[in-house]
Amino acid sequence: SVNPKRLVARGPDLEFEAPHDRDELPGGPPTDLLPLA
């Protein structure tokens, strides 16, 4: 059995509304996601 005691770790509390810096990262969206001109 993979998890005989059926314990599941909770993990950290995530703040989904927190600001992020993804705009500062290099690269962009995949070309499949860009609007067609």
Kindly report the pTM of this predicted structure: 0.31
Distances (CA, A) of 17 to 7, 20, 24: 29, 9, 18
pLDDT in tens, 2-37: 889 999 999 999 999 999 888 888 887 777 777 776
pLDDT for residue 37: 63
pLDDT for residue 2: 87
Q: How far is 37 from 28, CA to CA, in rounded Å?
A: 17
